Chains A and B, each alone.
Chain A
Amino acid sequence: MKKGIVMFAHNNRQIDYVKMAIISAKLAKKNLGVPVSLITDPSTVEWMRESNIFKVASEVFESIIITERPKDENTRVIFDGTEKVASPFKNANRNSVWDLTPYDRTLLIDTDYFVLSNNLNEYWNVDSDILIAESYNDIFGQERTGYLDRHVSETGIKMLWATTVMFTKNENTKVFFDLVEHIRQNYKQFADLFRFNSAIYRNDIAFSVARHIMYGYETDNDYSLPPVLSITDKDHLYDIDNDGNLVIMISPKLDGVYCAAKIGGNDLHVMNKQSILRNSEKLMGLA
């Protein structure tokens, strides 16, 4: 069974997702020892060639899979600490990973997720067709998380985090990913049914609902991937120290007042994407 990691990257004017994907892929390859493939689109590939990172990308990724750029576009406000900007992002084709992955067992991760340990290697052979991260784990603790970080709505089901998803390519998971696409296409109807906010399409919600349905509308206790340790986009990745630890600035009250900490040996979801790009050179040197 061939196993590997897949990432999606569709660049926009604000965020260079491909550069983030290269960093994330290098770290994942180093710490998990498996190949990584990239799913992207023609305009992003064109940009990669113009900015001379296509060669680097070709070396890092086992394959660069080109697909149609998703037509649907979400716009959300993203923060860089206290600065904020409205940013379009393309996340509506995540379900196509089932068709596009070159692997039998795939670990799908976001480009802002840094694999800094080999912990996820324990899950390749788990007897479950699909594993999704069971929860969000804020680095500062539960004080900064709300009910809607753990549930899809005030009255809804438990929220899983599609930041990390592992699956075996088979008929069962084909149904799962088709169901995710069905939920995406009928997002408002499912929002009425499961009482979540339909303003922005979220893969976390679509995956949570699909899994809930696949398990017979029951809250199950099946296997899952570990909680996603995260820093928010109001925190900063500040630096990388000489030992390869990530130095981070955390805003306990999300108000622009910070305390400092360092991370080494924990997988980390860095939601402040601009702070990743500011440190891209040093991050490249980590892997």
Chain B
Amino acid sequence: MQEEFKKALDFSNYRQTFSIQRKTLKEKIDAKLTYGINGGIFKIDRSLLNFVEMLIYKDRSENVVILDVNENPILIENLVEFREEIFDRYFTATLEYYEEYQNLKKSRSVEALLES
């Protein structure tokens, strides 16, 4: 098994390892941007962030119905609290994404990718 692992560390496998690491990183961040509240599931993306900000700007911040990922209507009693939560999750997740992606990009060998 150790011999097979040594071969797996060969530079010719770099793109495959990089590709797997990038895929799983993106999926990890996607999962962190999934938000369950009041029986619904929301995907925190730029569209949701903008829509919520616009509703608050238009003074619609209490008892607002928003459609979730399945287009089901979900009542959000306090939209300001909802906004704080999704903004917080969005910036935490994207910052993590940025930092981990930078580490991946500067890793120029399979060993470095595994240590990044």
Residues of chain A whose beta carbon lies under 8 Å from any beta carbon of chain B: 81, 117, 119, 121-127, 137, 139-141, 221-223, 226, 229, 236, 238, 241, 247, 249-250, 252, 256-263, 265-267
Dominant SS at the B interface? helix
| CB within 8 Å for A266 and B36 given contacts A236-B1, A260-B114, A261-B17 | no
CB distance from A272 to the nearest CB of B (A): 12
Interface stretch among B19-27, B46-54, B55-63, B76-84? B19-27
Contact, CB under 8 Å: A260 / B24 = no
Which chain A residue has the least Cβ–Cβ distance from B16? A259
- Measured CB to CB, the closest approach of chain B to A71, in angstroms, equals 37
Distance in angstroms between the alpha carbons of A265 and B25 in the assembled complex: 9
Task: For the complex, give the distance between the alpha carbons of A238 and B5 in Å.
Answer: 8
B35 adjacent to A122 (CB under 8 Å): yes
> Max chain B CB contacts within 10 Å: which of A117, A223, A229, A263?
A223
Known: A122-B41, A139-B24. A258 touches B5 (CB 8 A): yes
Residues of A within 8 A of B28 (CB): 117, 265-266
Shortest Cβ distance from A128 into B: residue = B39
Given A125-B36, A260-B114, check contact A221 B20 (CB 8 Å). no
Query: A124 touches which one: B4, B20, B36 (CB < 8 A)?
Result: B36
Alpha-carbon distance A96/B39, docked complex (angstroms) = 26
Q: Please judge, given known A-B contacts A238-B1, A265-B28, whether A260 and B8 are in contact too, CB under 8 Å.
A: yes
* Inter-chain CB contacts under 8 Å: number: 89
Determine how close the nearest CB of chain A comes to the CB of B115; give it in whole angstroms: 8
User: How distant is B96 from chain A, measured CB to nearest CB, in Å?
Assistant: 9
Q: Which of A241, A257, A261, A266 contacts B27 (CB 8 A)?
A: A266
Q: Which residue of B lies closest to A245 (CB)?
A: B114
Our pick among A121, A137, A258 for the contact of B8 (Cβ within 8 Å) is A258
Q: Tell whether A119 pairs with B39 under 8 Å between CB atoms, given A259-B16, A260-B5.
A: no
A261, B20: Cβ atoms under 8 Å? yes
Asked if B24 and A221 sit within 8 Å, CB to CB, the answer is no
B110 CB to closest chain A CB, in angstroms? 6
CA distance A121 to B31 in the complex (A): 11
